[in-house]
Structure 1
């Protein structure tokens, strides 16, 4: 079993990623953290859209869905909510369906091979995400890849640091895994830029602070607060949106 890290989803276009592998997609600030909180609050399903148009169309087709989205940290016109984990943490989402499109995170889910296993990982659910990925990779006898959503196509410090954290946790659980050079790089980044440092240094963090989203950062930079690991379970035929769920079988002890 091998572990490899991609610091930008675009890197997948230069290789032949295997549909059989397990992918952990990271968008620390904020998409994968937000998804985790949504399921914590009882959401039945989250549907990830690549574009604003896809999301709006999906909301029109199925009345009652909560339309959530973000572009450049702002909530787009016509959407019910943005991409704030702190906001969703205060909501009762029991049995609700939410449509989510974000600047980077939801697009990274689409960058992975179609029909592959895709898990949403972040600091907030770190150990649980790694445990789930390892269990599934051992069952499937396949490799694990960590995909950083990046920031509008550019390297994102917080995603790279989180990738290093997840890699470190995976090595603790399974020391015999073969690691690619990218793993050494990510772990080094995490060791030099832990969450407390990211609060000050990461551009995404500074952007959120500038618009008064300190509470979001408290969720995004908190480690191992959740056992929830959102997973892509299919594609909605009518809309082309990725369906994410949190089956009870994914519960992991931290």
Structure 2
């Protein structure tokens, strides 16, 4: 009898250090909005996305490469960057064939944390590429960590829901001994028919609603509208 790979869920970057990331695919989850924006840009033909953990780094790399610089801090376009963190900004007519340098409050920060902690493979996930993520981890035969980016280390609803959606799909193929995974899956199953009824009380939903970003959030919660797999290779995320 073959041994199943393990699956765990980290609900906050502050918990990432508790997990052994060797021989592990780390799925970076930042539904509102970094990993949804990454999926959108690559789906629409971006050559690659270079994630950075600082605004200064994004500006320097963008200048060096002649690339588009983009990102946010606290939900707003960061000073010195050209564009924001909205998946709607990166349509095919704008992003096709271009390089995007992206920095965000939570998602790109955790991606670099995972790399520094020895992750053997890093991909990014959100509802727009739910099926691509599930298909990839099922094919891989590796252990998996679903890494929710949360909001400044505080657990959030939307990332937990996505982790739960993944667990709900793949649970039969992994050895899951993880209360965070069970919690996320139960939260998703209980609320999947009325996601917005749950999210209306979420702090990040309220924060982005105040900025007029409801359309962004609807895209970010829609399964498979940008169904590509962003894989981190040689310093950048590329679609495979």
- Normalised to the residue count of structure 1, the TM-score between the two structures is 0.86
Partner residue of 1:116 out of 113, 116, 120: 120
Match of 1:24 in 2: 27
Asked if structure 2 preserves the Cα contact closer than 8 Å seen for 1:68 and 1:80, the reply is yes
Give the 5 Å matches for 1:4-83: 4-15=8-19, 17-63=20-66, 65-83=67-85
Match of 2:239 in 1: 246
C-alpha change, 1:105 and 1:205, in structure 2 (3 Å) is: same
Could you tell me how far apart the structure 1 residues matched to 2:76 and 2:208 are? 10
Q: Which blocks of at least 5 consecutive residues in structure 2 are unaligned?
A: none
Match of 1:103 in 2: 105
Asked if structure 2 preserves the Cα contact closer than 8 Å seen for 1:44 and 1:96, the reply is yes
Give the 5 Å matches for 1:212-251: 212-235=212-235, 243-247=236-240
Could you tell me how far apart the structure 1 residues matched to 2:30 and 2:151 are? 9
Asked if structure 1 preserves the Cα contact closer than 8 Å seen for 2:26 and 2:119, the reply is no
What is the CA-CA distance between 1:72 and the residue it aligns to? 0.5
C-alpha change, 1:115 and 1:3, in structure 2 (3 Å) is: closer
Asked if structure 2 preserves the Cα contact closer than 8 Å seen for 1:24 and 1:133, the reply is no
What is the CA-CA distance between 1:189 and the residue it aligns to? 1.7
The root-mean-square deviation of aligned C-alpha atoms, in Å, is 1.5
Partner residue of 1:186 out of 181, 184, 187: 184
Structure 1 or 2: more helix by fraction: 2
**SS in structure 1 of the partner of residue 9 of structure 2:** strand
**SS in structure 1 of the partner of residue 95 of structure 2:** coil
